[in-house]
Amino acid sequence: MEFIIEISRRKKSFTEYPVIRELVGLGIAVFGLLTICFFVIIVAPFEWLKNKLFKTKAGAEIDELNTLFKTDKYHLTLDFIDDPNPEHQIALDFIYSIVEFHDEMPVFIVKNKGQKTELDDSYLTAFEHKINNNLLLQRVRLGENSLPTSELIEFVTKTGEVIVHKEIGIYELDGFDLKKNKITGGTMKEYIEIEIKTST
């Protein structure tokens, strides 16, 4: 399998202008406040009643949501890294090399409740794509000169091994274009596409 990286400049968004950005931020804040009010008045009481009457297992649902991969041998979960958190500074440095301080971009640390794998305690972005029964993931690590970087890896689900395919650098991978067979992503200024070529 071969991975070819293409990088192109991102067109300037209207949200990059300070006045527009402030208006958008204000709108988001108002929307967030209304959402919280809606949750407190309607959703929270409903959830409490549902849990009491139907005895739903909220803990099990959360565990399922955070599970990256689970078999009889492995149970890998993703723990969200809160900011600030000096213990995971490399992950936070990677995030803020891509987005601005007030923006959000999730990075997780892999925890294992099963047999040991090469992915244990790795930092991952939210990117995930299944390929040949394995998982393509973006792993964040410390690069040269003690600066954060990232790489495209493949987690081999049968053995727990990790195959490093390509150095990505300071870009967030955020999707997979099935028609073009390309991984997509970028930063605030650039797009990145990674074409997957399978050997015939």
Q: Give the model confidence (pLDDT) of 148-192 as tens digits.
A: 999 999 999 999 999 999 999 999 998 999 888 899 998 888 889
Q: Are 115 and 160 in contact (CB under 8 A)?
A: yes
| Tokens read off for 195 | 């074409």
Render each residue's pLDDT in the chain as its tens digit; 200 residues: 777 777 767 665 555 566 666 777 787 878 878 878 776 677 556 665 555 555 444 444 444 558 898 988 999 999 988 766 788 888 888 888 887 655 667 889 999 989 999 999 999 999 999 998 999 999 999 988 889 999 999 999 999 999 999 999 999 998 999 888 899 998 888 889 998 887 65
The DSSP symbol for 164 reads: E
Q: Sign of the C-alpha dihedral, residues 15, 21, 24, 29?
A: positive
Angle at 50 between CA 44 and CA 51, to 5 degrees: 90
State residue 173's pLDDT score. 92
- From the list 93, 104, 141, 143, the residue with the least C-alpha distance to 126 is 104
For residue 151, what are its two tokens? 């790489």
Domain positions in the chain: 2-10+65-197
